[in-house]
Structure 1
């Protein structure tokens, strides 16, 4: 199968060709492997190859909606039994840590029929919105290799944008599906809290703020894969009502007239670039032309408090993941990057009552958004405030890193936490992508849709949030937008 033939297909189309015996699963896989060998040295999107595993599986009878479709997993939280998993960490890479069982999300992907032939680049423990780990080096954006593909699912986004696979595994703690999709010209859907599994070791990740799913080129691939993976598991903290109908059906349904609020005001007060504002204005005009009621409005949430509460979850997550790496693989403090060590120290310094207060405020944000959604069905913003940063542009400033290291040596982590410098660090790290975190703290479904390209040909995404558990509404809207302003054939030059 030639690359030009392979790249014209989304995952469901490839599966149909395999089912109709127009091509074999092995032919589809070899096309994916050939593309990876040709382009991955430039992009560093894939950090571990599983070609032999995938080739053996391609010879077996396969079933499911994606039977015979090449697929990549993120090297974080999507474990494959017996295959080394680094979580983007030097320590886990050094020790060759390999899980003994599949993650539940991996099991469900395999039941859907995919051929997993590699693992994608991610920052250490997924704690950054760029993909530039010390373990593997930076992943690069196919639209311009000097730019980041975002994070933490940057390797997956780069691989899909470059045509290595039609869709790839991703997960999202603060925008890690939607931000990479936005800057790579792809569709990125974050399901709501509890919609996809985290097992078998845990029922949810970081109080439900993080979720598993995919990054894809087509809306229908994302919908069909969520159909294949959604639903409770043995460790689920609670059981959501099943969707009213398959998400794949929602994509082609005629959408209702929606009330859509839009804003370009960043929640933390960061400046929003002219390109992002122009992208939202154009999207608002497109939606109005499709018959939707569109008007400017912003939910009444205090951005500074939201930033602090997101920081509490991030610090707690860093402390948990570092402790697990030490326990499971014998990693040492020196194995972790300075940013990770700082975040973990802050997690250990955070008092229990402070974490509990942050979690309580997350329920306040849910209430505020529920009130907001009485008036509006959807909340629209840019996905990112600016274009993708250059590689290295968001590295922690030396002065701040030196201050943090010195304070840690003196046992002054509590002083760092209360100094205001932590907020400055958080603001610096996420200033270019401040719109996505709200959906994680509230557990709402959200998506980034590739509706805008700059005059220089760089993509920017538009972000949409809906009510809790209303993934179907977002898929209907995404399908409508995809038909009105198609993006599938837009390809990066790399």
Structure 2
């Protein structure tokens, strides 16, 4: 009960909780027996428990899930004490967590700033030391962006390999946020990824690599890499919506210097296709709208009636309307264009092992800056310029936190080839072996 009281006390100031859940029956022999865990109020289903997806109507009607999904069942079987659900942006569409349903999540570094989104509740809870680990989902940066704003580590898992046909399987991934890289590694094992994929798909599958060997840093922890890695550094904006601030450039350069000091080959380089981000953002809208339509239909089952546009925030309703007018031919054409883009994007990893970039272009903005209806969509895509394409490609990515000279967090992102999750975590731990920075007020 002490853990739950601690969470309640922190939540009173920061507002990261959507709802608490009753204690589960203890499983004393389970691997994670009794370990507190918070899960995001989106997508992850737990039988007979609330799932409101940041929507005020679902909350008012106390909608519940009818069954466990596979990850939910796995978390229960492993013995986690799932204390409650953290706030999400409505249907996960925003990069801030300020839903009408239950008010804003406040950044623990500055309570007048956004905690990011859509997994802002989970990132805030980990940063404030409410729990060591929290679950989230990532549709276009929804784990990594709040991790950067709140100063914690985050892992977006990826697919095992590039799909041979257009697919949207990769876009929305379950993942975790934590105060230490080691905790993310434990959760990676839970997801069945563990110690590399064993199919030559980890870090370093490019020129000169034996395609039949597991490659990369190889669980070397802080002892240094098994071999020097080829690291490309991106430290400029790739979207016209939001420019890159000087502190973000400094954070990336600081990490690049550390990699160079560790013996890696570091040079300015990035996939040129990233510079098509504005076009990517526009073309992706029918894809996101189609995904939203499926989410709304699933939520309607929990509600017991169809959710209408009147039941949603204006931005959500606007996005849903796009799904209604998108023709199958238009969606197919977008899918094919995206598949060509992803093929060009991932080809860069034939020559490089890791891309180092900002996670977001600027530090956490003031509450309200990302929720103004007149500017929200453009600013949202601007914040996603370093993250969203890697949802389309299904590549793994990690956020590493650091603190700027103004005392607020920045996030630096590592992106790897398919199957390199464990290797990316090793590299993150080499760069940042200590616990994530603690907010002054936490």
SS at match of 1:381: strand
Q: In structure 2, list runs of 5 or more residues that go unmatched.
A: 162-166, 203-213
1:157 pairs with one of 95, 107, 123: 123
1:442-481 paired onto structure 2 within 5 Å: 442-450=393-401, 452-481=402-431
The answer as to whether partners of 1:386 and 1:433 remain within 8 angstroms in 2 is no
CA offset digits 1:349-390 (Å, max 9, x no partner): 222222222222232233223321122111111001001111
SS at match of 2:74: helix
TM-superposed deviation, 1:206: 4.3
RCO higher in structure (CA 8 A, sep ≥6): 2
TM-superposed deviation, 1:211: 0.6
1:87-486 paired onto structure 2 within 5 Å: 87-193=53-159, 206-230=168-192, 249=219, 251=221, 254-255=224-225, 256-269=227-240, 270-301=242-273, 302-329=276-303, 330=305, 331-397=307-373, 400=374, 426-450=377-401, 452-483=402-433, 486=434
1:61 pairs with one of 12, 17, 28: 28
SS at match of 1:488: coil
Partner of 1:6: none
Partner of 1:39: 10
The answer as to whether partners of 2:233 and 2:269 remain within 8 angstroms in 1 is yes
TM-superposed deviation, 1:395: 1.6
Q: Distance in 2 between matches of 1:357 and 1:240?
A: 35
SS at match of 1:325: helix
- Taking structure 1 as the reference length, the TM-score comes to 0.79
Change (3 A) 1:90 1:359: same
CA offset digits 1:39-79 (Å, max 9, x no partner): 101111111111x324xx34x42411x22211111111112
2:49 pairs with one of 83, 101, 105: 83
TM-superposed deviation, 1:463: 0.7
The answer as to whether partners of 1:109 and 1:229 remain within 8 angstroms in 2 is no
Please state which structure has a larger fraction of its residues in helix.
1
The answer as to whether partners of 1:88 and 1:124 remain within 8 angstroms in 2 is yes
TM-superposed deviation, 1:88: 0.6
Q: In structure 1, list runs of 5 or more residues that go unmatched.
A: 1-29, 196-204, 232-238, 401-423
SS at match of 1:265: coil
CA offset digits 1:60-118 (Å, max 9, x no partner): 42411x22211111111112111111011112112221112112111122233211011
Q: Distance in 2 between matches of 1:328 and 1:79?
A: 11
The answer as to whether partners of 1:161 and 1:184 remain within 8 angstroms in 2 is yes
The answer as to whether partners of 1:172 and 1:210 remain within 8 angstroms in 2 is yes
CA offset digits 1:114-157 (Å, max 9, x no partner): 11011000011101111011111111111111111110100001
Residue correspondences, number:
417
